[in-house]
């Protein structure tokens, strides 16, 4: 299903707003400093599956920047960029999924979760820590521990929330060929 540019822009606005609300008000503190168990990545993955890599990147970028800005410590660009990369990667590597066409079975659930795990490993195991070191001269052991804890938590929450959103949305969509003319 091809989305219109207007639909995609509206999805980016709504997705970024929901990403912000979930990230700011439904985040669970973790034992690692400045690292939360985040619920917004399931939503981001779902939106990236529906609207593609550009929408996924912009939702992650705008939503995460708003979260950081609202806390008052400034925008932590290394993690904002990692969120944008996660959204783009899920949008790219899950392009074979047909959630909008009402298809999301066991094979699709596995594909979705393999994609989101790969994207989280790249975002939180590589991009965020390396950018923290390069941009902010943060100690490597600290940022890789934050990336590890954040990445694992994001994988779990995305597996639960993202999968549920995809299943629920697919169930509301008519399946291809289900509306046949008879007679």
Residue 36 has pLDDT above 90, yes or no: no
Rounded distance, CA 126 to CA 106, Å?
29
Task: Output phi, psi for 28, to 5 deg.
Answer: -110, 125
Condensed to tens digits (0 to 9), the pLDDT of residues 145-156 reads 999 999 999 999
**Which overall architecture, per CATH, does domain 5-172 show?**
Orthogonal Bundle (1.10)
Whole-number pLDDT of residue 94? 81
Q: How many residues does the chain have?
A: 183
- Give residue 74's Cα distance to chain centre: 22
Residues 6 or more apart in contact with residue 34 via CB below 8 angstroms: 146
Residue 163 tokens read as 């999968």
Report how far residue 32's alpha carbon sits from residue 143's, in angstroms, rounded to the nearest whole number.
10
Provide the mean pLDDT of the chain.
93
What are the structural domain ranges in the chain? 5-172
pLDDT tier, 48 (very low <50, low <70, confident <90, very high otherwise): very high
For residue 182, the 8-state DSSP code is: -
Q: Where are the alpha helices (DSSP H) in the chain?
A: 5-25, 40-51, 53-71, 77-93, 106-122, 128-136, 140-157, 163-172
* pLDDT of residue 181 exceeding 90: no
pLDDT band, residue 163 (cuts 50/70/90): very high
Does pLDDT of 121 surpass 90? yes
CA within 13 Å, CB half, 31: 2
pLDDT for residue 167: 97
pLDDT for residue 73:
86
Question: What SS3 class is residue 29?
Answer: strand
Residues 6+ apart with CB under 8 A from 158: 41, 42, 45, 113, 116, 120
């Amino acid at each position: 299903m091809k989305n219109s540019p207007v639909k995609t822009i509206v999805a980016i606005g709504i997705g970024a707003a929901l990403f912000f609300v979930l990230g700011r008000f439904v985040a669970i503190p973790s034992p690692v400093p400045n690292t939360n168990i985040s619920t917004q990545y399931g939503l981001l993955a779902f939106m990236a599956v529906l609207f593609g890599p550009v929408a996924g990147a912009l939702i992650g970028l705008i939503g995460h920047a708003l979260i950081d800005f609202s806390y008052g410590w400034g925008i932590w660009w290394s993690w904002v960029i990692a969120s944008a990369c996660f959204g783009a990667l899920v949008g790219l590597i899950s392009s074979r999924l047909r959630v909008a066409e009402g298809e999301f079975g066991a094979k699709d659930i596995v594909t979705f979760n393999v994609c989101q795990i790969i994207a989280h490993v790249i975002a939180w195991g590589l991009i965020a820590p390396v950018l923290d070191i390069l941009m902010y001269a943060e100690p490597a052991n600290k940022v890789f521990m934050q990336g590890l804890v954040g990445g694992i938590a994001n994988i779990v929450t995305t597996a639960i929330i993202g999968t549920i959103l995809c299943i629920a949305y697919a169930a509301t969509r008519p399946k291809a060929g289900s509306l046949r003319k008879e007679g």
